[in-house]
Structure 1
Amino acid sequence: MNPRTLFIASIGNPGRYRNTRHSAGHTLLDALTPLLLTKLPPVYKTWASPSLMNASGQKLIRELESFKRTNTTALTLVILHDELEKPIGKVVVKRGGPEKASLRGHNGLKDIFKWLEKKKLYQQGNNPLLSVLRIGVGIGRPDSRSPEDVANYVLSKMDGGELDAVKRAAVSVVDILAEEIGGK
């Protein structure tokens, strides 16, 4: 495997929604950052989206393009996000875009892939210089399937046990990233 550089981006929501289940990607990045410093060579950049999740694509792509200009090696865009339906803290890894594995209605991921395709950075996975690694962390699911109940659930703050489970997931994620860069 050729060495790769990583652009590790978390998506979620800012402000009062920062510690909600929908912002589990940000929580994961916060826990992951100190591990990266000690476990990986410095061939990565981290970035937390400052936008609402459903509108994070444009700013993410702007940051990715800026980072690409300073790197000539193959690049992996790593997207850290919440994963509804999976047990709290469970890590789910998917490579590529919707042509490889469903985005499962995740509006943040949909927005990112819309912008990747618009900027011609990702076209059905045919760019060997940019690969995409989606790393979701489970947030569970409410018993009800009603859209209103699901929205209330994902926008509710995580309790202490949920926060700890998401933070513990960082240990396995750092191993996944080490393998991606060829550093393992």
Structure 2
Amino acid sequence: MADWSPPQAAGQQHNPQTSQISYNQHHDPTQDLFWPEPIDHSASNLSLQPEPKPQPQPSRPPLKQHVIKRRPVKPIISDSSPPTGAASNEPALSPVIPSPLRIRKPKIPSPQLPMRSVRLLIASLGNPPPYHSTRHSAGHILLKHLASHLSLPPLTKSKLLGSGLVSSGADVGRDEYTLWQSASMMNLSGQGALKAWKQFSNIYPPSDDTVTALVILHDELESSPGAIKLRRGESSPKGHNGIKSVQLSLKSAGLLASMGERFIKIGIGIGRPVSREKDDVSAWVLGQLTHVEKSKIEAATESLAAVMQSEIRRLERS
């Protein structure tokens, strides 16, 4: 039986893609009835339509992930009242902000005491001629080369500081240095050193602006030739008769205790014999310096000058 199509309604435009509908004509012979039923093509078309193939995606190089590690920051709880409508039992949070910078306060230098002028009386102990070139007179040799190293006048006789030889640094603009060489025997050095110190203290009386110190140069039996050893204040003379005489004289005059660390002893090494017998040690210290030993003592002058500068800086702030 042929397909039947219903008549097109007036005013309706015909669209061949959407309005073309096929019908099956049905007939009921018992009641002599005819009726059309449309054919549903959508289901069949959908079932027969192939599924679209997935389009291959263009390959891209993997992106480098830059991971930024951050320290977790705890939320900051505000002390202000919660906003209107907020739950009263929940703390109000302020926006997360970075930790404040830690700025160190600049160190304020402590006020320094005004520096004072320093005046040193550097006195050497030893023996007069003909023993002036022995190991026991190493202090005299060192003092002579110190005067030359500091460009001070040569040591000459002067009544300025009692007996002995003097080189005044004030004559060449080096007021901090006054050199004095004992003229007595080693074992009797105390009285001459005490007199020189008293006269020196009269020339430069201690005050708030000036500090004075006594430096004793002597031979050091227990140190290697040319080695320098410094001691301050009263201490054991360790068998050195010249140091023993000086300390005893200053103590008898009531000056040693008040001098404190303004009493400085610097020993210059002369070595020692293998034997510790008294006679052997006496023969050693009274023996003539060898050329090598004398050269080592003279070479210690620069180190001695550096030690003197260090003591001057210490005393300036004492």
Compute the TM-score of the two structures, normalised by the length of structure 1. Answer: 0.90
Structure 2 unmatched ranges of 5 or more:
1-114, 153-168
- Which residue pairs with 1:143 in the alignment? 274
Unaligned runs of 5+ in 1: none
Q: Match for residue 35 of structure 1?
A: 149
Q: Hey, what's the Cα distance between the residues in 2 that align with 1:32 and 1:127?
A: 24
Q: Summarize the alignment of residues 124-143 of structure 1 with structure 2, pairs less than 5 Å apart.
A: 126-127=258-259, 131-143=262-274
- Which position in structure 2 is the counterpart of 1:56? 189
Name the Cα RMSD after superposition: 2.0
Give the residue type in structure 2 aligned to 1:22: H
Tell me, in whole angstroms, the C-alpha distance in 2 between the residues paired with 1:157 and 1:33.
23
The residue number in structure 2 matching 1:117 is 251
SS in 2 for 1:30: helix
Q: Does 1:177 align with 2:308?
A: yes
Task: Indicate the residue corresponding to 2:128 in structure 1.
Answer: 14
Q: Which residue of 1 aligns with 2:198?
A: 65
SS of the residue 1:140 aligns to: coil
Aligned residue in 2 for 1:167: 298
Deviations 1:86-136 (A, max 9, x none): 1000000111112xxx2211110010000101111112xx446x7111110
Task: Provide the C-alpha distance between the structure 2 equivalents of 1:8 and 1:71, rounded to a whole number of angstroms.
Answer: 14
RCO higher in structure (CA 8 A, sep ≥6): 1
Matched, 1:108 2:242: yes
Number of positions where the alignment pairs a residue of Structure 1 with one of Structure 2: 178
| 2:160 corresponds to 1:46 | no
Question: 2:126–2:132: 8 Å Cα contact kept in structure 1?
Answer: yes
Distance of 1:49 and 1:156 partners within structure 2: 20
Structure 1 CA distance for aligned equivalents of residues 302 and 148 of structure 2: 11
Distance 1:79 1:67 in 2: 14
* Moved beyond 4 Å, runs of 4+: none
After superposition, residues 73-84 of structure 1 pair within 5 angstroms as: 73-84=210-221
**Is contact 1:7-1:46 (8 Å) kept?**
yes
Q: Rg larger in 1 or in 2? A: 2
The secondary structure found in structure 1 opposite 2:130 is: helix
Aligned to 1:26: 140
Partners of 2:149 and 2:127 in 1: how far apart? 23
CA–CA distance in structure 1, aligned partners of residues 185 and 230 of structure 2: 23
Q: In structure 1, how many angstroms separate the alpha carbons of the residues matched to 2:139 and 2:267?
A: 7
Flag the 1:92–1:127 CA change in 2: closer, same or farther, 3 A. Answer: closer
Classify the secondary structure of the residue corresponding to 2:191: helix
Task: Provide the rounded CA distance (Å) in 2 between the counterparts of 1:96 and 1:41.
Answer: 25
**Which structure has the highest helix share of the two?**
1
The Cα offsets for residues 29-73 of structure 1, whole Å up to 9 and x where unpaired, read as 011111223799321211100000110110111011111101032
Partner in structure 1 of residue 4 of structure 2: none
Identical-residue share of aligned pairs (%): 39
Checking the alignment, whether the CA contact within 8 Å between 1:78 and 1:134 is kept in structure 2 is yes
